Structures are given as structure tokens and as C-alpha cells.
Amino acid sequence: MKQFKITVPNNISYLPIVLECTKKIAKKMDYNPHDISQIELATEESITNVIEHAFEEDEDADFQVIYDEKPLGLNIIIKEKGIPFDPALIPEFNASAVSNEYEAKGLGTYLVRNLIDEVKFLNLGKEGKETHLFKYINNHNIEQLMDNDERALAEKEKKEEVLPKGSVKYSIRRMKPEEAVEVSKGAYSSYGYSYVLEHIYFPERVREMNLSDELISFVAVAGNEVIAHAALEMEEADKSVPQLGVAFTKPKFRGQGCLNELASAIMEDAFRRNLTGVYARGITTHPYSQKSCHKFSMKDCCILLSSGPEREYKGIVGKPQRESVVLIFRYLHPPESLKLFAPAQHESIIEKIYNHLGVEVNFIQKSDFENELPLEATIIINTEPHNQVGKIRVQKYGKNVINKVESILKDLCMDRMETIYLFLNLHSPGTQKFVNDFEKLGFFFAGILPGSEGNDQLILQYLNNYKIDFDKLQIAGDMAKEILGYIKGCQK
């Protein structure tokens, strides 16, 4: 990976120079002309608004543009230490008035859907603010790569009769790079395009992510055919606690026990890597994925309501609602005990969840830390437009944290995010202090997600005028049932 930085004066006359640099780097990376044009336009809109909104009029300052070349594409980071921005000052969104500030109305949706594949906003407190614009290269999904005969075969595979149990001999191993295209085909024949992790449909992404261990794929192979797949998804927020997922078996091979053996192999690999733990998402439209996780000593710790779009499942009747999931966790290298700053009203349920996971917790108090708080909070915002989900992660508390979260929440609601999750570090006294204020904004309890040292998270959730029918949620585990009952009591 290569990184190239330029320092730019906050003067619009320098914009053509930045755009020429952007164009040349994108061309050097072999982007096609259409993608180069989109990268240029996104960069132009973002930088224009840095110059127009991030600094006082006539202020003599500069900012950085960082070009981070990655195997999967180009990440452009715009970093500045300008003034805090009031979202109320932003006019209704239009294509000629995009702001790079995370509060900008419609920015995330506009760039993600029209120009850029991934947009991330970071408020770094006194270190300033960053906007990350990422564009994939070789961005062709499996349906685009298959010819007519291959597409017809995939459609046929979806309808094939299941083979008798125990009739297929297969082996389990790590995926080879050249098998990425077969993995994408398998995902397509198993799920169509309904699977939540979009990357699985892009063979080049699957290959590169496995080469860098961002995705750790294991496959079941019968002869030369990849018949099943599962993987660890390494996550930027805490690389020592990946998600176990992307699991599928080609329709005719279901019932052979592939996924159980894949999960066993992955757990062994995660243990060897000295990872803290592994979590999975069990859907609640049916209980089967939850029960599968429980077989591997994974235990319920959180319920995320409305975490994805409505999906129809074979054999399940009735009008579907947005998918809710149970987070199910297993410690591989558990701590002996934890000292946490939990809000008093949730101490009891948090203690029960940790005890269920096999860890003792001690709750501590710190009431004299407010003078230590910086003015600016450090906050990271991610959006998943295909799921209509926003995620707010408070990395570091500041005196303005409530106002900032409220502004971000309003913006995400205006961007039509159906659900917003708020991640709060249980090792920070700020979580204990500010949860009441967050709940006054409409957030309510979801659960916890254990992490590596110092990274345990309390998760709150917010539903943007979406009503969940709790009677439709199928919950398998007793702990998850208790969490769901607690959530019902917390929801306003």
C-alpha cells in the first residue's frame, strides 16, 4: 500500500491542482474513465465545501489531502482543523452544495449512491475532522462476470434437489485465491443478491480481502467444486473480535454438515490467531441460525432491532418486517474479570449478560472526571445505505458530545436511515455519565458487544419512526429472551 499527501491552502484557486493530482493517481491505478470522473467530482464537491465552510472568511490556513492506495481501490482522506460546523446552517441538499461535514444533509446518501462506494466521517476533537472517500477498482460483481450459460447454471442450481445426507465426501480448508470467483458464484446460487455482506458478490474483493486477512475464508470442497463457505470478517473497530458469517452452502449440498465443520475450523483458526473472541448475527425471522451458533458455545449478548431490510424466507408465511438480529458471542481468550463504567439503570442486565458469557464484572464510579473532558468529542459515523442503518461510535467523550450526537442523529434520520446504533465504550466514565442524556434523545438499550482489552461496548439503538412487531421475533435462547423483555421495557 502506498500513501501520497499534499497540503492545500484554503483557497479555491488551488482546486484545479488537487483535481489534476486526483485524476493522475486514479489513472495510475487503472481506473476506467467513468470511475475517474466520479472520483474527481466527489473530491471536488468535498474540497469546495472544506474551503467554503470549514474556515473563517479570509482565514489563512491549509488542510491535507491524503491519497491512500489500497489493493481494493483508492481511499481519499480530506483532513482539516477548521471550525466546528452548525448543521442548521446547511441548506436543503442539492448536487451543487455538498458539504464534507458529517452533518451535511444528504451527503452520505448522495456520495455513496452516486459517486463513491464508501464514505466515512471522523470527528477527531482537537485533531480536527476527516472525510474518507473510497472507490473500489475492478468493481464487477459476479452476475456481470458470468456469461449466459453460467447464469443459467446458477439459476438451475438454486432449484436442485437436496442430495441424501452423508452422500457427499468433502474436505475443509482455507480458500485459495483462485477460488474467489467460485465463492461468489456459490453465494449467488445460494442467496441471489439478498446476502447482507455485499463484498461476497465481487470476486476481486473476496480474493484481495483474503490476501490481506480482512476476510478469512474457509471452504468445503467436494472434488474440485466449492460447495460451502464461511469466514471471519475482520472489523476496523476491533480487529481482535471478528464476525463469523458469510456462511452458505449450495442448495443441493445442504444437510451434509458443511457449515458445522466450517465453523469448527474457523473457531480453531481464530484461537490460534490469539483473538479475544468471535461474534455472529443470528436472524430472528427464524431461530435456526441462532441455534447453530449455540452449538459452538456462543452466547447471546445483544438484540439489534431493524438491522436490515425485509427478506422473505422459504416456508415462512406472513408479511415480513425489517430483519432484527441477535448478537451471539464466544470468548476464545476471556479476561479474568472486567471493571466497567456502566450506567446504574442497566447494571443488572449487563452483569447478567457478562456472567452468562463466563466473565465476572465489577462496576466502578468516577464522578470527578468532567473537568478532564476536552471540548470536542471524537466520533466516527458509518452508514449502510443498503440496510438503511447508521452507526455512531463515540471514541472519546468531549463536553459537546450530546449536541454532536443529537446533530448526527437528526442528519441520519433526514438521510432516511431506519435504524441508528450508538456504540459507547464501557471502559470510559463518560458512558456512565451520558447514557441518560442519550436516552432522552430517543436511544434505548440493545445489549453489549464484548471486545479486546478496553474495547467492550454498550450498544443503544434508535428507530426512525419504524415500529417493530415483537411477536414476530423468533428467539431461541433464554438469555436473548430476557434481553428482549428488557428492551421492551426500555423502548419509549
Q: Are 105 and 147 in the same domain?
A: no
DSSP label at 204?
A: H
- Residue that the C-alpha cell 441455534 belongs to: 291
Residue 319 domain-assigned (yes or no):
no
- Grid coordinates standing for 185? 458464484
| DSSP bridge pairs for 310 | 322
Q: Are residues 125 and 152 in the same domain?
A: no
**What pLDDT sits at residue 118?**
79
Q: Averaged over 75-97, what is the pLDDT? A: 59
Give the closest residue to 277 by CA, choosing from 337, 325, 341, 328: 328
Does residue 217 register a pLDDT over 50?
A: yes
Confidence of residue 99 (pLDDT cuts 50, 70, 90): very low
pLDDT class of 100 with cuts at 50, 70, 90: very low
pLDDT more than 70, % of the chain:
90
Q: Is the pLDDT of residue 432 over 90?
A: yes
> Of 42-51, 271-280, 450-459, 464-473, which gets the smallest average pLDDT?
42-51
Average confidence (pLDDT) over 456-477: 96
Give the model's pLDDT for residue 91: 41
Question: What is the reported pLDDT for 155?
Answer: 77
The answer on pLDDT for 76 being more than 80 is yes
Average pLDDT over residues 375-383: 89
Local confidence band at 341 (pLDDT 50, 70, 90 cut-offs): very high
Do 146 and 263 fall within a single domain? yes
Reported confidence tier of residue 485, pLDDT bands at 50, 70, 90:
very high
pLDDT at 104: 45
User: Residue 419 falls within a domain, yes or no?
Assistant: yes
In the chain, the number of structural domains is 3
Residue 109 has a pLDDT of 42
Judge if 132 and 147 occupy the same domain: no
Domain range enclosing 155: 142-275
Read off the pLDDT band of 83 (50, 70, 90): low
Note the pLDDT tens digit of each residue in 143-154. Answer: 777 778 877 877
Residue 59 is part of a domain; what is its CATH number?
3.30.565.10
Average pLDDT over residues 353-373: 89
Residue 49 is predicted with a pLDDT of 79
Of the two residues 78 and 157, the one the predictor is more confident about is: 78
Could you tell me the CATH number of the domain that includes residue 450?
3.40.630.30
Q: 218 lies in a domain?
A: yes
Residues present in the chain in total: 492
pTM for the model stands at 0.81
Check residue 194 and give its pLDDT: 62
pLDDT given for residue 45 in this prediction:
85
Instruction: Clarify whether residues 116 and 155 are in a common domain.
Output: no
Rounded CA-CA distance 421/419 in Å is 7
**pLDDT for residue 90:** 40
Note whether residue 283 is domain-resident. no
The reported pLDDT for the residue numbered 103 is 41
Q: What is the mean pLDDT of residues 415-422?
A: 94
Report yes or no on 289 lying in a domain. no
Using CA atoms, how far apart are residues 404 and 391, in angstroms rounded to an integer? 14
- The proportion of the chain whose per-residue pLDDT surpasses 90, expressed as a percent, equals 60
User: In this predicted structure, what is the pLDDT of residue 87?
Assistant: 36
Least confident piece of the model among 16-30, 50-64, 110-124, 439-453? 110-124
- pLDDT above 70 (res 105): no
- Note whether 178 and 61 are same-domain residues: no
Please state the rounded mean pLDDT for residues 185-190. 84
Residues 159 and 230 in one domain: yes
Alpha-carbon distance 438 to 431, whole Å? 10
pLDDT at 350: 98
Element (H, E) at 431: helix 429-440
| Residue 288 maps to a domain | no
With 70 as the cut, is the pLDDT of residue 271 above it?
yes
Q: What is the mean pLDDT of the chain?
A: 87
Interatomic CA distance for residues 212 and 232, integer angstroms: 12
Cα→Cα distances 32→67, 70, 197, 264, 354, Å: 18, 17, 25, 42, 50
Is 168 found in the same domain as 94?
Answer: no
Q: How does residue 368 score in pLDDT terms, banded at 50, 70 and 90?
A: confident
In a domain, 50, yes or no: yes
176 and 263 together in one domain: yes
Sign of CA dihedral 232, 234, 235, 237: positive
Domain-terminating residue out of 249, 275, 301: 275
User: Cα–Cα distances in Å, from 382 out to 3, 65, 123, 448?
Assistant: 23, 20, 12, 19
Number of neighbouring beta carbons within 10 Å of residue 44: 16
Q: Are both 11 and 125 inside the same structural domain?
A: yes
The larger pLDDT score, comparing residue 320 to residue 355, is at 355
Q: Is the predicted pLDDT of residue 231 greater than 70, yes or no?
A: yes
